[in-house]
Amino acid sequence: MSTRVILRSPFGETVTRDIADGYWADPVGAADSTLGEGYWAVPGLVDAHSHLATRDLPAPNGGYQPGVLDGAVERARDALSAGVTLLLDKGWCDKTVIDLMAAMPEAERPEIEAAAQMIAVNEGYYPDFALEIDAFEIGSVVAEQAVMGAGWVKLIGDWPRRGRGPVANFTEDQLRRAVEIAGESGSRVAIHTQAREVPSMAVAAGVHSIEHGLFLTDSDVATLAQRGGMWVPTVLRIEETIVQLGAESGGGRLLIEGLGNARRLLPAAFEAGVRILAGTDLVGTPANVASEAIKLGEYGLSNLQVVEAVTTAGFRATDRSSDFAVGAPADAVLFPEDPISDLEVLRHPTVVIRKGTVV
């Protein structure tokens, strides 16, 4: 029983592949069935900032919010049905997602890369949620978390302190140390930042992915682009936070200013080569990632850039095939129309193939 898939990319190329044991193979002989004729195909949608462990943010005044495996399993299934074949989970207060990766067969969930527990300092995040370390211990803690995680370490770069706005949790040297130690286990580092000065520190320190990062500068963008670094602006999450804080509050005004900066930077950053990625960050579930992608369009990305940001860019940024290479996992999402001509198409894939199985 062999299946042949015609994969017409919205970016131009059309390739024909057979599925062999869950991977793409060169077509050989006659196939029993053919799929994909007349559709547009991408390797999948990518949610580059998710938290599968739960649906809810931590309580503002603290309180441990453990992940729940059953719920996480359900969200992982929903994400795959919505076309998310790759998901970068940016950590939680526990290792629910790491457990999920062991518990679920790959063909029933997206491919997942994940940070284990988030790393902050005392008073440097929601109370009693992330690991609250002494900043000078960052090397040993990152070493542990890199081993526990699946490809990522997540740092909380800054957090508001009463009356002072967001304050950096770590120095640039400490961030550099984190990147170096994570690299020893082949892990990347992601940093939460909403402060003014922290994105520049993180970029200079070699951090791989800037989460939110509203105050990146032109020179940060140039540096990040040079090394193919990632920026996940999570615009829906920021807009929601502004509503929660109130647009007139100190925090709300800061985020509005930051969104203005992001709007100014996004198209140029994309063109320069920064991997701008779509991330849901608990606005809905990972299945909602098309909404964040469409939002990036409102912030200045062209339709072509939006489709890249939510599909191929995430595959390339994590060293995966973005064009159905022979030998790559047979993952594909088929759309009835070209998503570049109508972004709404991203919300409704017709067929999702994961590890060679039609979902």
Look at strands 3-8 and 209-212 and give their pairing: unpaired
**Nearer of residues 18 and 281 to Zn ion, judged by Cβ:** 281
Shortest reach from residue 265's CB to Zn ion, in Å: 20
Kindly state the number of chain residues that form the binding site for Zn ion, as judged by CB under 5 A: 1
Decide: 75 and 285 in contact? Cβ < 8 Å. Answer: yes
**In the window 271-300, what residues touch Zn ion (CB under 5 A)?**
281
The amino acid present at 135, given as its one-letter code, is A
CB of 281 to Zn ion, least distance (A): 4
Query: 158 or 281: whose CB is closer to Zn ion?
Result: 281
Q: At its nearest, how many Å lie between Zn ion and the CB of residue 53?
A: 11
CB of 216 to Zn ion, least distance (A): 17
Q: Which is nearer to Zn ion, 281 or 292 (CB)?
A: 281
- The interface with Zn ion within residues 223-282 (CB under 5 A) comprises 281
Closest residue to Zn ion: CB criterion: 281
Q: What is the DSSP string of 168-228?
A: ESS-HHHHHHHHHHHHHTT-EEEEEE-SSSHHHHHHHHT-SEEEE-TT--HHHHHHHHHTT
Output the furthest CA–CA distance in the chain (Å, rounded): 70
User: With contact defined as beta carbons under 8 Å apart, do 64 and 93 qualify?
Assistant: yes
Residues 322-341 binding Zn ion (CB under 5 A) are none
Alpha carbon 108 to chain centroid, angstroms: 19
| Residues between 163 and 202 that touch Zn ion (CB under 5 A) | none
Least distance in angstroms from the C-beta of 92 to Zn ion: 9
CB nearer Zn ion, residue 29 or residue 60: 60
> How far is the C-alpha of 181 from the C-alpha of 187, rounded, in Å?
9
Of 89 and 308, which CB lies nearer to Zn ion in the complex structure?
A: 89
- Tell me the C-alpha distance between 76 and 66, whole Å: 17
Residues contributing to the site for Zn ion (CB under 5 A): 281
